[in-house]
Chain A
Amino acid sequence: GNSVTQMEGPVTLSEEAFLTINCTYTATGYPSLFWYVQYPGEGLQLLLKATKADDKGSNKGFEATYRKETTSFHLEKGSVQVSDSAVYFCALSDLTDRGSTLGRLYFGRGTQLTVWP
């Protein structure tokens, strides 16, 4: 079946530190991979995505590369800011028809990131 495992938090960093949040997945077929971010009291916001192997998703200084050989999609940022403090979720979609809807998303448990000034 499909599942996502991401590193347990919480993660606490100083401003400008390097961030890595590990994410590995198990899937049948060729899933799309996502990172979502959730700020306190809000819903989920799509941070970045990758739809095939070796794709690199990037947004707001965050990056993640779809590694099929290691079934991973680790999130990285070179220099975090206080405003990056949030919960980060790795997810995969089991959708095979890319021209259609979102499909069912399988989420990891989330990683709480706190950045101190």
Chain B
Amino acid sequence: KAGVTQTPRYLIKTRGQQVTLSCSPISGHRSVSWYQQTPGQGLQFLFEYFSETQRNKGNFPGRFSGRQFSNSRSEMNVSTLELGDSALYLCASSASGPGGEPRGYFGPGTRLTVT
């Protein structure tokens, strides 16, 4: 069974630009979560989607947005990039349904560098 796929793996953008990151969950998983990892703030929750609906959102400005498609693939977008947005962005997928234990399978991440 293929794992969580994130594309691209590395990205360099200029301040003020926007960026879109993609996450393909494990086949059959309907939930996708996004996290930002930085040396200063550690791992911080961005948002979680389930069946195309945002279920939970972290404390990030409105420049950070996401969506989930009918095939469970998810994208996150960051507009008007700032230097502080440089981070590793991790996506996790999890199974859902009655009796399923909560367990997150993380992808390898997208390393975003803003210059």
Contact = CB atoms under 8 A, between A and B. Distances in A.
B42 to A, nearest CB: 5
Contacts of A110: 42-43
What size tier do the contact residues of chain B reach?
Answer: 20 to 34
B99 A101 contact: no
A101 B50 contact: yes
A70 interface: no
Given A44-B90, A89-B43, A103 B108 contact: no
Interface in A25-59: 32, 34, 36, 41-46, 49, 51
B115 interface: no
A25 to B, nearest CB: 15
A93 interface: yes
B48 interface: yes
Contacts of A105: 33, 35, 43, 45, 92, 104
B109 A101 contact: no
Nearest to A41: B108
Nearest to A103: B102
Contacts of B43: 89, 91, 105, 107, 110
Interface residues of A, number: 28
A98 interface: yes
Contacts of A49: 101, 103
Nearest to B45: A104
Contacts of A43: 4, 6, 90, 106-109
Interface of A: 32, 34, 36, 41-46, 49, 51, 89, 91, 93, 95, 98-110
Interface of B: 4, 6, 30-31, 33, 35, 42-43, 45, 48, 50, 55-56, 58, 90, 92, 94, 96-109
Given A49-B101, A49-B103, A102-B103, 12 more contacts: A43-B90, A43-B108, A45-B106, A51-B101, A95-B102, A98-B102, A101-B55, A101-B94, A102-B31, A103-B56, A107-B43, A109-B42
20 contacts: A34-B104, A42-B108, A43-B108, A44-B92, A44-B104, A49-B101, A51-B101, A89-B43, A99-B100, A100-B50, A100-B97, A101-B30, A101-B31, A101-B96, A102-B102, A103-B48, A104-B33, A105-B43, A105-B104, A109-B42
